[in-house]
């Protein structure tokens, strides 16, 4: 039985929310993580990526999150074959820099949104570079006084020209990141 990415992420968030009993707050930290992604287009398979981000706390509920990341969007060759030859669509290597605003709306649950500056490579060439947008919801699981696991459901919208991709493309991803908090967590 094949479960969708959203169902898996929802299940993890429900389990994790029952484990932690601490009270959330924005805190300054540095984190790195891994992601699984799937563009909403049927032309692409599940991909993977990496992220390095910092969080700069502005208040107990608000933070700025600069991030640098990489996502690989794998092409589904079986769906892009025409009369024995492949179309020009290719796997995409996406490098991005973002600056999101993160808001804690309930304990360790948060939402974040912001612009994304990206460069997408495909067919061994630069496919496009530009400005996109991202939005996410997530949960922080406090491991100890300075360590946190961040679980995030994310959507990024970018533009990949039709000769390489599908034009405006939305990418859903599930990210898990380890964060080191610079100040002791309140418990």
Q: What's the angle, vertex CA 26, arms to CA 23 and CA 30, rounded to 5?
A: 120
Which tens digits make up the pLDDT trace of 23-32?
446 788 999 9
Q: How far is CA 77 from CA 26, 47, 109, 119, 133, in A?
A: 43, 14, 38, 23, 28
The CATH number corresponding to 5-13+34-181 among 2.40.160.20, 2.60.120.10, 2.60.40.10, 3.20.20.70 equals: 2.40.160.20
Question: Is residue 179 predicted with pLDDT exceeding 60?
Answer: yes
Alpha-carbon dihedral sign for residues 44, 88, 168, 126 = positive
Whether 52 has a pLDDT exceeding 90, the answer reads yes
Residue among 146, 158, 7 nearest 73 (CA): 158
| Structure token pair of residue 38 | 């799937």
Whether the per-residue pLDDT at 175 is higher than 60: the answer is yes
**CA atoms of 41 and 171, how far apart (whole Å):** 8
* Rounded-to-integer distance, Cα 171 and Cα 179, Å: 24
- Write out the DSSP string of 60-121: SSEEEEEEEEEEEE-B-GGGSEETTEE-S---EEEEEEEEEEEEEEETTEEEEEEEEEEEEE
What pTM does this model have?
A: 0.76
Radius of gyration of the chain (CA): 18
Note the pLDDT of residue 41: 76
Show the tokens assigned to 168: 């405006």
DSSP one-letter code for 39: E
Give residue for tokens 């094949």.
Answer: 2
- According to the model, what pLDDT value does residue 128 have? 80
Please write the tens of the pLDDT for every residue from 118-158: 998 876 677 788 899 999 999 999 998 889 999 999 999 98
**What are the residue boundaries of the structural domains of the chain, listed by start?**
5-13+34-181
Which pLDDT belongs to residue 58?
Answer: 93
How confident is the model over 59-112, as pLDDT tens digits?
Answer: 989 999 999 999 998 876 655 555 454 455 667 888 999 999 999 999 899 999
pLDDT value for 16:
44
């Amino acid at each position: 039985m094949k479960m969708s990415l959203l169902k898996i992420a929802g299940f993890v968030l429900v389990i994790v929310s029952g484990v932690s009993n601490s009270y959330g707050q924005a805190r300054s930290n540095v984190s790195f993580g891994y992601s699984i992604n799937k563009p909403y287009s049927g032309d692409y398979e599940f991909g993977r990526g990496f992220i390095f981000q910092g969080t700069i706390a502005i208040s107990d509920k608000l933070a700025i999150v600069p991030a640098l990341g990489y996502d690989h969007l794998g092409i589904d060759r079986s769906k892009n074959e025409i009369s024995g030859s492949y179309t020009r669509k290719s796997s995409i290597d996406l490098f991005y820099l973002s600056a999101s605003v993160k808001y804690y709306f309930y304990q360790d649950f948060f939402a974040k949104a912001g612009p994304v500056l990206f460069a997408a490579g495909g067919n061994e060439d630069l496919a496009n570079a530009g400005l996109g947008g991202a939005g996410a919801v997530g949960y922080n699981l406090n491991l100890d006084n300075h360590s946190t696991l961040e679980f995030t459901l994310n959507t990024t919208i970018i533009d990949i020209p039709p000769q390489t991709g599908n034009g405006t493309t939305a990418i859903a991803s599930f990210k898990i990141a380890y964060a080191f908090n610079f100040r002791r967590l309140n418990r």
